[in-house]
Amino acid sequence: MVAQFINDDLLAEQWLQSYLKANEDIFDFKIIKPEIIAWIESNIKLPRTSSEYSGHFSYDLTPYWKEPVSHMHPNSPVRTISIMKCVQSGATESVIIPVILYSMSEDPCSMLLTAGDLSLAKDTVEKRIDPVILESGLSHLLRPHVVKRANNRSGDTGESKEFIGGSFRARGTQSATAFRQFPAKKVWADDYDAAPRELGKEGSVRGLIEGRQNSFGDKAKSNYISTPTETLTSNINEMFMLGTQKAWHWPCPHCGTFVKVEFKIEREDGNIAGIVWSTDNKNRLIPSSVAFMCPNCANTIQEKSKYELNINGIWVPGTDSPVERLHESYHFCGLALPAGFTGWVKIVEEFLQANPPGGRTNVKKLKTWNNLRMGLPFAETGETPRVNELMQNTRKYFPGVVPDVTCAADCNGSIIMLTLACDLNGIMDKDNEDVRLDWEILAHTTTGATYSVDHGSIGTFKRLRERTKEEQERDFERDKWTLTHNVKNSVWDTFEEVIKKEYPMEGGNFMSISITVVDTGFSEKLAMSFIQKMKQDKVLIYGVKGRTEATFRKIGRDTSAITRAKEHPNSLYILEVNQMKDDLAQMMKLREGSDGSQPNGFMNFPESRDGKYTMKSYFSHYEGERRTEEIKEGNVLGFKWDKKNSSSQNHFWDVRIYNNAAPMIYLDVLKRSDPRYKMLTWEDFVMLVSDL
Ligand SMILES: [Zn+2]
């Protein structure tokens, strides 16, 4: 009986029930379990090595964890506890470990701890749980043959422990087999965002975990704990939304209102409260200025009051009708961390690194900051870019004119090159040739801001669904164009004129196109022969096409945006279009600084004239695509851009992608033209041409 008990938990549970029944008198004194917080504070001791707070464990520094922990008491009806948290939150030390030890001692049962993978779970046991068991003098609870001593690990893998009346197991969430064959009354799913969304045919990890708990009914308890990641696929965010959505609140020492601990809080008058700060005239943070502004009374609170604020803090639910019954969910933000951990100044500094004043937002840094510091999920711009704000970047120059004077007046230095790009669309069947070439000329400046110079279309092709009813009725009147060379209505002849034209500048001079890039994705053969022909005329011209094998951009991958195509290394470049579209979407969001300065990548446009640069003819194309996540088996592999719907037009958006690639191609060609330029950067190049 005893031998089987060690190896078979199902039997162990049954055995425990009969044992408890037979010994009701003996166990009477433990039927009313001690209050969990009091037990932990008087029994748990932290070893000197694991924490700077060694000695008797206390919730004085982390009082916010008392409520979730108290729901682990068998008398609490709460079934599920979800904690979405920042890093350094102390959830492992304060929520997981003490409750496991409490359960071993006072409420023995079968327990399961999961982490992203088995070795992480074992690490938690060996490096964090075992030392606390030893330090707290609770080793006697473990069955002798598995008592863990630092110098004697034989027979113990750190994956399981047995103690009177229960067992403990550590598992990784990567494989379904890890969950089979044993029951678990209490479960801690740590690092829950690392769990796959689905484990193939086995279903969701939550389903598998809670499947282990079926035999315990309402007495089972599940904890889901994690720092969140991507909004749409974050496991912990999903759990948080199913529960009571509680947030930590402080009592304002000025007005007494309980206020949510949040970085940015919009006040009723539209002003912003939460963390406030000032910068000096060089945009550097003034550390002493960092404070927390009460959204109710607008008085500021200093960080040194944090201990007092936390001691008197409370959890406030974010919803009064949670989706799931008996599910308490908590969001904990790094602003409430106790002294000795990352403080407000560092948090603001990191925020400013992600959002440099007057500069471009670094989305990767902002995501990391949101996840790790705020404990919040983050949606990488999944939305369609908006053009209303982009249209406000219209300046006082006309289409077809190079705005050198405007550029200097905008403090963007000088215009260093004009690039021309085109996108091709249409039908090239044997008996039906009907195409259109859309082009744009872009001026690139020394500061990285750009000015659109002109745009146009050659040819009349439109997809049926893009045509208005009137256009459809009058379609027979339309002149059709072709990509075929040396025939009437060949788009190439007209495009050649655009390439070779000299463009007037505001200052009175003329400027020609430095480099032309042609989309070869539609008809590579005909486009390449045009490129070869132009090359004979000493025109700097290259073909471009999007990478086809990688249809989406992998997360966290920052590859070179352009590479030479193997099949035409001297005349064709492959573009990482999804990456370049991410960048363009960011550029569209750029705003002028308060002093009117334009950040690197800022996009300027001429006034609308003769049907050019209107919403319909031009700007709407920038809203034609939408960024979507590439999800496989519940995991976000990356992002890609797709047309919003079949009738949305995206030609000038594509043309801009090619125009943004053009200076990179120019630089690449220059680097290969002379060994002295091999290491040339864009910044070097700008200096070089600015000195001319
Ligand atoms: Zn107040």
pLDDT at 89: 94
Q: How far is the CA of 301 from the centre of ligand 1 (A)?
A: 9
Q: How far is the CA of 346 from the centre of ligand 1 (A)?
A: 24
Q: Which two tokens stand for residue 347?
A: 């948090």
| Distinct helix (H) and strand (E) counts, the chain | 22, 29
> Rounded to whole angstroms, how far apart are CA atoms 40 and 69?
10
- Find tokens 């609170």 and name the residue: 301
Residue 151 has pLDDT above 90, yes or no: no
pLDDT digits (tens, 9 = 90+) for 446-498: 988 999 999 999 998 887 767 777 777 777 778 889 999 989 999 999 999 99
Judge contact between 278 and 286, C-beta under 8 A.
Answer: yes
221-226 and 80-85: which strand pairing? parallel
pLDDT digits (tens, 9 = 90+) for 92-143: 999 999 999 999 999 999 999 999 888 899 989 998 999 999 999 998 888 7
Q: How far is the CA of 110 from the centre of ligand 1 (A)?
A: 47
Confidence of residue 360 (pLDDT cuts 50, 70, 90): low
Q: How far is the CA of 374 from the centre of ligand 1 (A)?
A: 22
Mean pLDDT of 580-588: 86
Q: How far is the CA of 294 from the centre of ligand 1 (A)?
A: 5
Q: How far is the CA of 254 from the centre of ligand 1 (A)?
A: 5
Q: How far is the CA of 370 from the centre of ligand 1 (A)?
A: 25
Q: How far is the CA of 259 from the centre of ligand 1 (A)?
A: 8
Judge contact between 211 and 205, C-beta under 8 A.
Answer: no
> Rounded to whole angstroms, how far apart are CA atoms 12 and 192?
28
Give the domains, in start order, of the chain with CATH numbers.
31-245+317-339 (3.40.50.300), 248-316+342-352 (no CATH), 388-661 (3.30.420.240)
Q: Which two tokens stand for residue 173?
A: 């969430």
pLDDT digits (tens, 9 = 90+) for 498-521: 999 999 999 999 999 999 999 998
Q: How far is the CA of 100 from the centre of ligand 1 (A)?
A: 39
Q: How far is the CA of 515 from the centre of ligand 1 (A)?
A: 60
Q: How far is the CA of 315 from the centre of ligand 1 (A)?
A: 17
Q: How far is the CA of 200 from the centre of ligand 1 (A)?
A: 51
Q: How far is the CA of 300 from the centre of ligand 1 (A)?
A: 8
pLDDT at 17: 60
Show Cβ contacts of residue 346 under 8 Å, excluding neighbours closer than 6 positions: none
pLDDT at 382: 53
Q: How far is the CA of 296 from the centre of ligand 1 (A)?
A: 5
Range with lowest mean pLDDT among 168-182, 251-265, 357-371, 630-644: 630-644
pLDDT digits (tens, 9 = 90+) for 20-66: 554 444 444 445 678 999 999 999 998 876 555 678 899 999 999 99
SS3 574: strand
Q: How far is the CA of 253 from the centre of ligand 1 (A)?
A: 7
Three-state SS annotation for 115-171: ECCHHHHHHHHHHHHHHHHHHCCCHHHECHHHCCECCECCCCCCCEEEECCEEEEEE
Q: How far is the CA of 307 from the centre of ligand 1 (A)?
A: 17
291-293 and 300-301: which strand pairing? antiparallel
Alpha helices in 191-313 (DSSP H): 205-211, 235-242, 306-311
Q: How far is the CA of 436 from the centre of ligand 1 (A)?
A: 62
Judge contact between 188 and 128, C-beta under 8 A.
Answer: no
Judge contact between 396 and 608, C-beta under 8 A.
Answer: no
pLDDT at 153: 43
Q: How far is the CA of 338 from the centre of ligand 1 (A)?
A: 21
Of 159, 311, 337, the C-alpha closest to 250 is: 311
Q: How far is the CA of 366 from the centre of ligand 1 (A)?
A: 29
Terminal alpha carbon distance of the chain: 92
Q: How far is the CA of 295 from the centre of ligand 1 (A)?
A: 7
pLDDT digits (tens, 9 = 90+) for 364-379: 788 899 999 999 998 7
Of 276, 181, 196, the C-alpha closest to 235 is: 196
Of 387, 416, 329, the C-alpha closest to 691 is: 416
Q: How high is the mean pLDDT of the chain?
A: 86
pLDDT digits (tens, 9 = 90+) for 191-232: 999 888 777 777 788 988 888 898 888 899 999 999 999 887
Q: How far is the CA of 258 from the centre of ligand 1 (A)?
A: 8
With both helix axes pointing from N to C terminus, report the angle between 36-43 and 97-106 in degrees, rounded to the nearest 10.
100
pLDDT at 452: 98
The DSSP-derived string for 496-553 is HHHHHPPEEBTTS-EE--SEEEEE-SS-HHHHHHHHHHHHHTT--EEEEEE-SS--SE
Q: How far is the CA of 267 from the centre of ligand 1 (A)?
A: 12
Q: How far is the CA of 257 from the centre of ligand 1 (A)?
A: 6
Q: How far is the CA of 321 from the centre of ligand 1 (A)?
A: 28
Q: How far is the CA of 297 from the centre of ligand 1 (A)?
A: 4
Confidence of residue 79 (pLDDT cuts 50, 70, 90): very high
Q: Within 10 A of 292 (CB to CB), how many other CB atoms are there? A: 26
DSSP-derived secondary structure letter, 7:
H
